[in-house]
Amino acid sequence: MQPYLMSQSRQTLLVDIGNSMLCWSLGGKYDCVPVESFAADLMPVYERALVSCVAHSRLLPLFNNAIIIKPKPYKNIKFHYDLAELGSDRFLAIVAGFEKYPTQDLMIIDIGTFVTIDCIKNQQHISLGIAPGLKKLKNICNFLGIDSRNAWKIGTEEMFQSYIKNKVQSFKGKILITGGGQDGVKINHAEYQQNLVIQGLEFFHE
């Protein structure tokens, strides 16, 4: 994995527990494993942990001195959601996008187990929806025949890509794409980010 984070204390572990993947960063070094493969001994030595957790809360006791980040009012952003219902992953991605491009309209697309699309226009947060990720779409049906299975694969991939491309088609601001499934969609004018949730945790840490 390539480090990309800004300067950061080597004592604070930044952790993103998602639906499928668990990712962390310490001192600019980034790693990620499937949730089912995670074990505490994979972690480097650290003093405390800042954690975003949207699933698998059973893993939280494995982190020392963990501070669980919850959505809360942030600077001048007016959130579309009741913050108690907004996932910490979406919240932190919004924070990261806003801090990186505070004067621009933003669209933030997180492609993982689910696809979430959020906008910030004039410091106003707008939710553009949550949809199944590509893996979930493909697993809706299980065909026995090879031809039907291949046809389903083609159909779901095209539907998945069309959904996202339709959202960005008329958007004029900065588009940030993140998440483990980001390679599944190519938007030429978008900026691809390794993990905006971790970057959001970095801004909280600073």
- pLDDT tens-digit map of 36-57: 999 999 999 999 999 999 999 9
Q: How confident is the model at residue 100 (pLDDT cuts 50, 70, 90)?
A: very high
Instruction: Tell whether 96 is covered by a domain.
Output: no
Phi/psi of residue 42, nearest 5 degrees: -75, -20
Q: In the predicted model, is pLDDT for residue 2 greater than 50?
A: no
Instruction: Tell whether 66 is covered by a domain.
Output: no
Instruction: Tell whether 125 is covered by a domain.
Output: yes
Which residue has 């997180």 as its token pair? Answer: 110
Contact at 8 Å (CB) between 110 and 119? Answer: no
DSSP-H helix ranges across 51-180: 88-100, 134-138, 146-168
Pairing state of beta strands 12-17 and 106-111?
Answer: unpaired
Q: How confident is the model at residue 73 (pLDDT cuts 50, 70, 90)?
A: very high
Instruction: Tell whether 120 is covered by a domain.
Output: yes
- CATH number assigned to the domain comprising residue 125: 3.30.420.40
pLDDT at position 81, please? 84
Q: How many CB atoms lie within 10 A of CB 111?
A: 22
Which residue has 């088609």 as its token pair? Answer: 169
On average, the pLDDT of the chain sits at 89
Q: In the chain, what percentage of residues exceed pLDDT 70? A: 94
- Structural domain total, the chain: 1
Instruction: Tell whether 167 is covered by a domain.
Output: yes
pLDDT at position 5, please? 40
pLDDT at position 10, please? 58
Q: How confident is the model at residue 8 (pLDDT cuts 50, 70, 90)?
A: very low
Q: What is the arrangement of strands in the sheet containing 174-178, beginning at the earlier edge strand?
A: 124-132, 114-121, 106-111, 174-178, 191-192
Instruction: Tell whether 132 is covered by a domain.
Output: yes
Instruction: Tell whether 185 is covered by a domain.
Output: yes
Domain that holds residue 189: 103-195
Instruction: Tell whether 7 is covered by a domain.
Output: no
Contact at 8 Å (CB) between 171 and 157? Answer: no
Contact at 8 Å (CB) between 70 and 82? Answer: no
